[in-house]
Structure 1
Amino acid sequence: MSLPTLVALAAAALPQAFAASSQSFVPPASSPFSASVNYVGQSNGSLPIDPVKPGKVFDRFIQIWFENTDFSVANSTAEFRSLAERGILLSQYFAVTHPSQPNYAATIGGSFWGLADDNKHDIPSQIGTMVDLLELGGVSWAAYQENMPTDGFNGETFSSVNYVDPTAANYTYYQRKHNPPILYDSVSGVPSRAARVRNFNDFAADVNTSALPQWMFVTPNMVNDGHDTNVDFAAAFLRYWLEPLLADPRFNDGRTLVLVTFDETESYLHNNNVFAVLLGGAVPERLHGTVDSTYYTHYSAMSTVQANWGLGSLGRGDTDPVMSNVYSLVANATGWKNNDIAGSSIPLTNLIGLTPGPLNPLFFLQTGWPAPNTSAVGAGGGPVFVGSG
């Protein structure tokens, strides 16, 4: 059986990503600086104000992920085009697989472990993540999950009052599958780390007290990220939430880099090219409105952070010689040489269920969870992290 046939069969076996369009955007809070009863969980107070570790290009890195949209669709939407005109458009940015959850797992773990579903999985505590590298390097971090009820919540879903349509039943605004750190037992099972996986009421407290950390992963809720709605709904959320923050130095100063991107394409039948743009004060004005056509993947967010702060690596996708190019803005400043893969040489990352790994029942690795490649050379120059056990 040919590879295209296998891909088509695998795609047909999974529910396709889709966006409904019946809902209209309603702000969940009066502003991104305000707490809201729509978020259920009240803030536990702000994080401590940690010392800032200077980076080579930026001192703060913020990822904001949206859902299930092809590059061409996002790139033709007014708000996303506006962001591109104020930043660097990464035109050859690719998700690493389908469906959603494995992409989220990959972007902090350097692998999706063969995963090809959105079911609840707990990745064992001996598996290292970006959290280990950040903490070893003295870089503060947190994840902010809109509509997550409590800090470190490990439930699969959470439903709350439907603030978009108060006449309707409670709505499932939060899904664990979009929460990268909590997928890993090395975070969810460690109270001090789990407390840094926070909700948007906590975000308001942290930004108002100038306590935002240096590395952040932000996941809007299931309507605001476009998963249950569409790209126009996501654009309305950006206008409400991100635009005021970009104008506030507590969030975006001259040393802040913001990545706005998508987890995967909507279509499973062509390669996984998603919209991605770099914004913030760390992007020089001379680069506003430019296009970087270097081949990047979700692993590039890891290698770029490692290069910026001189961190170690995980010896997985973050050091893959094909898939871990460092954003040119940082590669040029650090002397890292990217590969020049382009066109037909770009790997197919829309393949579904064909990657071996311990979370793929069709290709279960009898040897267990694979060890990191301790001989790998990462962009940060530090050692490869090996978890205990």
Structure 2
Amino acid sequence: MLFANSALAVAVATAAAVSHVAAACQAINSVMTIVLENQDTSTILADSYMGSTLVKKGYLLNNFYGVTHPSQPNYIAMISGSRNLCLLDFDCKIGANSIVDLLEQKGKTWKSYQESYPGNCFTGTSSGTYRRKHNPFMSFDNIRGNPTRCANIVNSDQLSRDAAAGKLPNYIFYTPDMNNDGHDTSASYASNWLKTFLEPKLVDPAYANVLFHVVFDESETYFGPNHIYSILLGKGIKGVGLVDNAHYDHYSFLATLEGIFDLGNLGKHDKDAVRIPLSC
């Protein structure tokens, strides 16, 4: 059913292949990345909500891949264009730049919304159902050691207040807790959480100019291609119900984010990554 319009899928893939250079996308005010955990694409496409309902509403990136295993290096790659020698799930301390540096240089705002996060620049490995390994911003020395920047890492409760005040940042990184992201539960649990979290936002005027990216960090199967579910919804997508079969990974979305806000690049894997085509 996903490939009923194969000609359109091919056309989209062809467009993606030539989308390396893209101008700033002024129609998109905010980009929200929502990261779920550790599921194979086949499992998610079999889910009634993510595999059917969302596919009909969004732009499915059907050939999207994590860059490694385990979880944390994928999160680091999402915001910095490299694993930066962070290879495992132990606390990392990285003396490099990230998307934060590019955003701030352009006067753009950002926040990392973390479920169950204790606040106050908590640097511990865990607290309840919060895990630092799923909060990549905390691994960067120039964020963790900077009180002003670290204040942009907040508990997820702040999101509703920011939306109500009309103060959604330009870049939103949202991490569900260890239950809601499916890590300690299941794909169906994560799907039910996502439906409750996302559906109201798709019709809320406060989020009218937001591009949503729902993505998994890595596949459940370690010894394989690391094929993961990834879908764009909301402002700026090429079309509703489209399937893009071009090859993308976490670096591709970082490069796309850089293009949306005309940020330049970090000179790492993001520099040469193929951007995802948008309609701006």
Category of TM-score, reference length = shorter chain: 0.7 to 0.9
Q: One-letter code of the match for 1:60?
A: S
Q: One-letter code of the match for 2:29?
A: D
Considering only aligned residues, what root-mean-square deviation do their CA atoms show, in Å? 1.4
Q: Equivalences for 1:61-140 in 2 at 5 Å?
A: 61-81=31-51, 82-124=53-95, 127-140=96-109
Q: 1:244 aligns with which of 173, 182, 200?
A: 200
1:269 aligned residue:
223
Q: One-letter code of the match for 2:101?
A: D
2:259 aligned residue:
307
Segments of 4+ moved more than 2 angstroms: 54-57, 113-116, 281-284
2:237 aligned residue:
283
Is 1:222 aligned to residue 160 of structure 2?
no
Aligned length: 256
TM-score of the aligned structures, taking structure 2 as reference length: 0.88
Give the 3-state SS of the residue equivalent to 2:158 in structure 1.
helix
Q: 1:190 aligns with which of 136, 146, 165?
A: 146
* Contact 1:94/1:296 (8 A) holds in 2: yes
Tell me, in whole angstroms, the C-alpha distance in 1 between the residues paired with 2:240 and 2:119.
38
Tell me, in whole angstroms, the C-alpha distance in 2 between the residues paired with 1:181 and 1:141.
11
Q: Which has the higher contact order (CA 8 A, sep 6+)?
A: 2
Give the 3-state SS of the residue equivalent to 2:256 in structure 1.
helix
Q: One-letter code of the match for 1:204?
A: S
* Contact 2:236/2:278 (8 A) holds in 1: no
2:28 aligned residue:
58
Higher percent of residues as helix: 2
Is 1:319 aligned to residue 271 of structure 2?
yes
Q: One-letter code of the match for 2:49?
A: E
Tell me, in whole angstroms, the C-alpha distance in 1 between the residues paired with 2:151 and 2:131.
18
Q: One-letter code of the match for 1:62?
A: M
Q: One-letter code of the match for 1:63?
A: T
Tell me, in whole angstroms, the C-alpha distance in 1 between the residues paired with 2:183 and 2:132.
14
Q: One-letter code of the match for 1:256?
A: V
Is 1:328 aligned to residue 277 of structure 2?
yes
Q: One-letter code of the match for 1:314?
A: L
Q: One-letter code of the match for 2:246?
A: T
* Contact 1:292/1:328 (8 A) holds in 2: no
1:210 aligned residue:
166
Give the 3-state SS of the residue equivalent to 1:328 in structure 2.
coil
CA displacement at 1:158 relative to structure 2: 0.3
Tell me, in whole angstroms, the C-alpha distance in 2 between the residues paired with 1:301 and 1:151.
29
CA deviations on 1:306-329 (whole Å, 9 max, x unpaired) are 112211211001113xxx110122
TM-score of the aligned structures, taking structure 1 as reference length: 0.64
CA displacement at 1:282 relative to structure 2: 2.6
Residues 260/151 of structure 1: CA separation in 2 closer, same or farther (3 Å cut): farther
Percent identical residues: 38
Give the 3-state SS of the residue equivalent to 1:239 in structure 2.
helix
* Contact 1:60/1:256 (8 A) holds in 2: yes
CA displacement at 1:57 relative to structure 2: 4.7
1:295 aligned residue:
247
The structure whose Rg is larger is 1
Q: One-letter code of the match for 2:180?
A: N
Tell me, in whole angstroms, the C-alpha distance in 2 between the residues paired with 1:292 and 1:315.
26
Give the 3-state SS of the residue equivalent to 2:205 in structure 1.
coil
1:361 aligned residue:
none
Tell me, in whole angstroms, the C-alpha distance in 2 between the residues paired with 1:201 and 1:308.
27
Q: One-letter code of the match for 1:77?
A: D
Tell me, in whole angstroms, the C-alpha distance in 2 between the residues paired with 1:60 and 1:203.
13
Unaligned runs of 5+ in 1: 1-53, 160-172, 334-389
Q: One-letter code of the match for 1:273?
A: H
Unaligned runs of 5+ in 2: 1-23
